Amino acid sequence: MANLITEPNLPVPDDFYQALTDLHRNLTTEQSRDVNARLILLLCNHIGDQEVLTQAMTIAGEHLSQDQ
């Protein structure tokens, strides 16, 4: 069983964050949401492991029950 990596794993995280914010700069909210959706689907396809993706979705949604 593959496990989702949740520890920091980017060699230069600040550079990635800068590129991500640059991607969204000057976009409308709708365009930003569209870019996020496309990015998520591209990365899911690249990962290609249903178990890992399920783990990621579970972790990503955990805060929702706490916020309500």
**Cα gap 48→6, rounded to integer Å:** 17
What confidence score (pLDDT) does residue 67 get? 57
Distances (CA, A) of 59 to 11, 29, 34, 49: 22, 25, 22, 16
What is the model's pTM?
A: 0.84
Is pLDDT at 65 greater than 90 in this prediction? no
Nearest to 2 by CA among 58, 37, 53, 45: 53
pLDDT band at 68 (very low <50, low <70, confident <90, very high): low
Q: Model confidence over 18-51: pLDDT tens digits?
A: 999 999 999 999 999 999 999 999 999 999 999 9
